[in-house]
């Protein structure tokens, strides 16, 4: 666990603990279980989307359609619920749409040899445009099931609580860890991200792996959209505007290399928590603009990219000297 590739992960975990400890000393009431749980409650949808993005970046790709897919999910859900569709059918349908959307982008990326940035950028505009085809206005959700899920609080010992969305997010994190480290799909994803030509020479199913990676990202985006719908109880074309950048930032801060081949779902989990704790500190401060969250995250993102660069150069230097 002391290998160089684990350094960004340990830095991420240490940074989260440091920020939380500083906040605990500075603000009254900050050091409590509920404040910690609120980080998960308020960022459950971000965490779900970030798990899918982790696999994409580990495979050497990028997915810019995440925020737009979340918005499209809210719009499709709100529109169908307004027409009287059963909630379970709506949830299943939007998950299928997310998987098909992501798989289609993965197929285009591989078979037409187009950069993921370009394909997912087109996907971002397509999904966001479809939102406005459905409606240019906000669609309020008053379905009893969605309202019940949104308002349900799961009591924990000590008087604290979590939401159903947190349970969904933690289940996705657990699934992500299992897929990444205990399945062929996970091993193939790391191999493709490490070197796609070598993976093809070894006979690995590169095309299938890429489509599955983007399909899984589409699934996570749609599921994040469902959770976001529970959170907002509405559908709107501008929901999650720019969230793909927050998702990418969480993954990179979590120690995943942008060049692919190295990454950790656990690191992504703490990357999301770091964003949440920064927002919480700014909220406790009271006098700072919310834009300071963007500034701090931007600085952290730059520092982690520089750290990755330095570690990469050292790795190359070690190989050449050996």
pLDDT tens profile 236-293: 999 999 899 999 999 999 989 888 888 999 999 999 999 999 888 888 887 767 777 7
Q: How far apart are CA 102 and CA 224, in angstroms?
A: 14
The encoded tokens of residue 290 equal 């919310």
Q: Residue 321 — very low, low, confident or very high, per pLDDT cuts 50/70/90?
A: very low
Q: Name the H helices within the chain.
A: 7-26, 33-58, 66-82, 87-111, 116-134, 144-151, 164-182, 184-194, 196-201, 206-232, 243-253, 265-285, 291-321
- The more confidently predicted of residues 26 and 311 is 26
Average pLDDT, the chain: 91
Q: What is the pLDDT of residue 296?
A: 84
Residues 250, 52 contacting (CB under 8 angstroms): no
Q: Residue 2 — very low, low, confident or very high, per pLDDT cuts 50/70/90?
A: low
* End-to-end CA gap in the chain: 22
What is the pairing mode between strands 139-140 and 234-235? antiparallel
Q: What is the pLDDT of residue 274?
A: 93
Indicate whether 316 pLDDT > 70. Answer: no
Phi-psi region of 163 (alpha: psi -120 to 50; beta: other; left: phi over 0): beta
Q: What is the pLDDT of residue 8?
A: 80
Q: How far apart are CA 72 and CA 76, in angstroms?
A: 6
Nearest to 275 by CA among 253, 260, 258: 253
Indicate whether 320 pLDDT > 50. Answer: no
pLDDT tens profile 51-97: 999 999 999 999 999 999 999 999 999 999 999 999 999 999 999 99
Q: What is the pLDDT of residue 319?
A: 46
Q: What whole-number percentage of the chain has pLDDT above 70?
A: 94
Q: What is the pLDDT of residue 125?
A: 97
Q: How far is Cα of residue 81 from the mean position of the Cα atoms in its chain?
A: 26
Greatest CA span in the chain, whole angstroms?
A: 67
Helical axes 206-232 vs 87-111, angle rounded to 10°: 140
Q: What is the DSSP letter of 151?
A: H
Q: What is the pLDDT of residue 313?
A: 57
Q: How far apart are CA 113 and CA 124, in angstroms?
A: 19
Q: Residue 101 — very low, low, confident or very high, per pLDDT cuts 50/70/90?
A: very high
Per the DSSP assignment, residues forming a β-bridge with 234 are 140
- For the chain, the domains span 44-243
State the Rg of the chain over Cα.
Answer: 20
φ, ψ of residue 140 to 5 degrees: the values are: -80, 140
Indicate whether 164 pLDDT > 90. Answer: yes
Q: What is the pLDDT of residue 322?
A: 46
pLDDT tens profile 174-191: 999 999 999 999 999 999
Phi-psi region of 242 (alpha: psi -120 to 50; beta: other; left: phi over 0): left
Q: What is the pLDDT of residue 212?
A: 97
Indicate whether 1 pLDDT > 50. Answer: no
Poorest-pLDDT segment among 48-52, 116-120, 229-233, 312-316:
312-316
With tokens 């959700």, the residue in question is 141
């Amino acid at each position: 666990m002391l290998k160089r590739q684990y350094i960004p992960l340990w830095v991420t975990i240490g940074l989260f603990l440091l920020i939380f400890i500083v906040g605990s000393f500075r603000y009254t009431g900050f050091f409590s279980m509920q404040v910690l749980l609120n980080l998960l409650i308020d960022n459950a949808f971000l965490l779900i989307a970030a798990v899918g993005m982790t696999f994409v970046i580990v495979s050497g790709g990028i997915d810019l359609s995440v925020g737009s897919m979340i918005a499209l999910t809210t719009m499709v859900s709100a529109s169908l619920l307004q027409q009287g569709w059963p909630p379970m059918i709506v949830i299943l349908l939007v998950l299928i749409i997310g998987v098909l959307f992501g798989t289609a982008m993965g197929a285009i990326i591989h078979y037409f040899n187009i950069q993921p940035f370009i394909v997912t950028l087109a996907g971002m505009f397509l999904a966001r445009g479809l939102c406005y085809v459905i409606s240019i206005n906000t669609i309020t959700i008053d379905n009893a099931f969605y309202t019940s899920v949104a308002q349900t609080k799961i009591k924990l010992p000590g008087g604290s609580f979590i939401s159903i969305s947190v349970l969904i997010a933690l289940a996705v994190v657990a699934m992500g860890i299992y897929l990444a480290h205990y399945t062929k799909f996970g091993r193939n994803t790391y191999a493709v991200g490490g070197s796609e030509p070598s993976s093809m020479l070894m006979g690995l199913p590169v095309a299938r792996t890429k489509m599955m990676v983007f399909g899984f990202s589409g699934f996570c985006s749609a599921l994040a959209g469902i959770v976001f719908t529970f959170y907002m109880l509405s559908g709107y074309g501008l929901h999650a505007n720019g969230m793909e950048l927050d998702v990418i930032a969480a993954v990179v801060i979590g120690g995943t290399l942008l060049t692919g081949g190295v990454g950790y779902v656990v690191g992504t989990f703490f990357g999301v928590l770091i964003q949440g704790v920064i927002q919480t500190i700014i909220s406790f401060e009271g006098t700072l603009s919310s834009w300071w969250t963007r500034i701090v995250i931007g600085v952290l993102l730059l520092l982690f990219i520089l750290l990755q660069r330095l570690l990469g150069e050292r790795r190359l230097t070690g190989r050449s000297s050996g």
